[in-house]
Amino acid sequence: MKIVQKILNQIQVLLVTLNDADNLSACLITYKNGKFVSRHEDFDLASLETSKEQIPVAVLLKGYGIITKNCDTNKDIVSRITGDENNFLWNFDYKGHISFVRIEQVEKILKKIEKGQNRIIGIECLSSDADEQTVEIRIRQTLKENFSIRSIVKPATYSSRLAMMLFYKIKLPVLILILLILAANTFISQNISDTYSENNTKLMVLQKRHGQINSITQQKQQAIAGHSKNLSVKIAFVYDRIAIVTPEQITLSELAIQPLAKPFETGKEPKLNENRIYIGGYTHSYESIPEYISVLEKEKFVKKLTLTTVAQDSKTGVFNFKININIK
């Protein structure tokens, strides 16, 4: 649904091409009620300052200074860039690439439209050689992600600006009603999702134990009894936290805490992958993977997180991934 776009009436996407360190060109694309209206080539950024209309603008950057890397072959770089939001602006594309640019470069552009910044509700970067198809796909995603009801409640400056623009477009009681409905829906949906994920995870553990109960030996029982003795946190707490922070776009297919390093051997002490968590899953949204990683890294029990695998199924388009976590 394009409720936000219809309420705002007009929205704009500013496509900025960086020709070199000091020169750039811009194209302003205007939409009305969610439909394309016009495309203004060689747009003068200064006119954003003089415009009296408070039309929200999403900025897309491409060209000089923007670096693009393949996520599968540059995992260390991806991890370093996504973990340093203070120095880099970055985005993933549908081809499995990450494009990033230094914040200083972005600040140079913002200085050129200093007085018009209150209209900007989002800034993203594209690969330096992005073709028309890539640009068109990113614009559609930008309209969907930055001009939606969900984007209003995100804790960011851009979300606040968008909310204020909506405030001036509709009457206060209507806005309050929408926010109350949204808050209630978010709360209920999250609780249902959390409960389902928690119960599903516990059910998987119970089913696995039930299937092994008839053949389990005393040695295996001792291994299970001592499974969590060397952990600094309770296993149930870890399961609960992972279930809670997993977004709706991601489905987990694997979740193991301190699994066996190798199969049981008679007469030998079982060896565990101590202080390790293995997570596997899949999603249709590539952007949800780095978002999930960012949320997991904030958990108190996480010492180090590594994205070991990301691969897209050529038939279904689904992204499969695996994550390894070292527990503190």
pLDDT per residue as tens digits for the range 141-161: 777 776 665 655 555 545 556
Tokens of 85: 């939001």
In a domain, 188, yes or no: no
With H, G, I as helix, E, B as strand and everything else as coil, classify residue 60: strand
Tokens of 284: 């249709």
Banded model confidence at residue 1, pLDDT cuts 50, 70, 90: very low
Beta bridge partner(s), residue 124: 60
Q: Which position has the higher pLDDT, 290 or 170?
A: 290
Expressed as residue numbers, the domain containing 152 is 3-170
What percentage of the chain exceeds 90 in pLDDT?
20
In a domain, 109, yes or no: yes
Phi-psi region of 145 (alpha: psi -120 to 50; beta: other; left: phi over 0): alpha
In a domain, 96, yes or no: yes
What is the count of structural domains for the chain?
2
Tokens of 65: 């200074």
In a shared domain, residues 109 and 62:
yes
Give the containing element (helix H, strand E) for 57: strand 57-63
In a shared domain, residues 203 and 55:
no
Tokens of 302: 């996480």
Question: Phi/psi at 213 (nearest 5 deg)?
Answer: -60, -35
In a shared domain, residues 215 and 162:
no
pTM of structure: 0.44
Q: What is the pLDDT of residues 174-211, one digit of tens each?
A: 667 777 777 777 777 667 767 767 777 777 777 666 65
Instruction: Pick from 1-10, 19-28, 61-70, 283-292 the range whose average pLDDT is largest.
Output: 283-292
In a shared domain, residues 136 and 232:
no
The dihedral formed by the CA atoms of 153, 157, 161 and 162, expressed in degrees to the nearest 10: -40
Of 168, 242, 254, 165, the closest CA to residue 208 belongs to: 254
CA 197 and chain centroid, separation? 19
Residue 148 is predicted with a pLDDT of 64
Sheet holding 250-257, edge to edge: 250-257, 276-283, 319-327, 302-312
Single residue among 131, 153, 170 that ends a domain in this structure: 170
Single residue among 170, 204, 232 that ends a domain in this structure: 170
* Least confident range of 65-69, 212-216, 253-257: 212-216
In angstroms, the CA 192 to CA 207 distance is 22
The CA angle 295-229-294, to the nearest 5 degrees, is: 5
In a shared domain, residues 37 and 161:
yes
Contact yes or no for 113/49 (Cβ under 8 A): yes
Contact yes or no for 190/248 (Cβ under 8 A): no
Residue 104 is predicted with a pLDDT of 84
C-alpha separations of 126 from 52, 104, 289 in Å: 29, 17, 18
Q: Give the residue ranges of DSSP H helices in 147-212.
A: 149-152, 157-169, 172-212
In a domain, 207, yes or no: yes
In a shared domain, residues 166 and 199:
no
Residues 6 or more apart whose CB falls under 8 angstroms from that of 237 comprise 301
Greatest C-alpha distance within the chain: 81
Tokens of 25: 């060109």
pLDDT at residue 247 is higher than 60 = yes
Instruction: Pick from 17-31, 130-144, 168-182, 249-263 the range whose average pLDDT is largest.
Output: 249-263
Burial class (CB in 10 A: 0-12, 13-18, 19+), 12: buried
